[in-house]
Amino acid sequence: MLEVIERILITREELQAKVKELAAQISKDYEGKELFLVSVLKGGFMFTADLMREITIPCEIDFMAVSSYGQGSKTSGVVKIVKDLDQSVEGKDILVVEDILDSGLTLSYLKQNLLARGAKSVKVCTILNKEERRKADIKADYLGFEIPDEFVVGYGLDYAEKYRNFPFVGVLKKEVYQK
């Protein structure tokens, strides 16, 4: 399976260390508040699980799944909620946990959506950021790593639903998706 990887960008150890750092900052910033994690499926599941384990204050979690309408690898900015939260977010301090900020269209939609439902605050935490690709006016409040504009897989991120299980973040070989 490793033969699809061109190079490893972020190792398992680097991810673990960064997750601890982020969780420590989040635990400090949300002390005394009602922290409610919203994990974005599927890409955000691995990062969320690791992050939540390192958070040292009481917190709740729920899941959302979204899909963006668009052809192939292009996102159109129109987001559809495929799986919604089970609980109300009204009055809660929400931290949306996602794999990557790319165009930013998904997270910018989600942020507005949660605020419209009466969340007290909505912040965003992603493990990766591709700054060059940004279309929407959004930045991560908590961010792991800046990465170049290359297609990556692993640590929850997929190509055609595969390779989410790599414990590192790696650049996918171009021949894998240019076939």
Report if residue 154 touches Mg ion, rule: CB under 5 A.
no
**Interface positions with ligand IMP (CB under 6 A):** 43, 75, 98-106, 151-153, 157
50 binds, among Mg ion, ligand IMP, none (CB under 5 to 8 A by kind): none
Which one of the spans 22-30, 39-47, 71-79, 126-134 is the region binding Mg ion (CB under 5 A)?
Answer: 39-47
48 binds, among Mg ion, ligand IMP, none (CB under 5 to 8 A by kind): none
Of all residues in this chain, which one has the CB nearest to Mg ion in the complex?
A: 43
Nearer to ligand IMP, 32 or 160 (CB): 160
Residues with a known catalytic role: 102
- From 2, 1, 4, select the one nearest 179 (Cα to Cα): 4
Q: Residue 57 Cβ, how far from Mg ion at the closest point, in Å?
A: 26
Report if residue 43 touches Mg ion, rule: CB under 5 A.
yes
Cα four-point dihedral sign 135, 126, 49, 27:
negative
Q: Residue 136 Cβ, how far from Mg ion at the closest point, in Å?
A: 15
157 binds, among Mg ion, ligand IMP, none (CB under 5 to 8 A by kind): ligand IMP
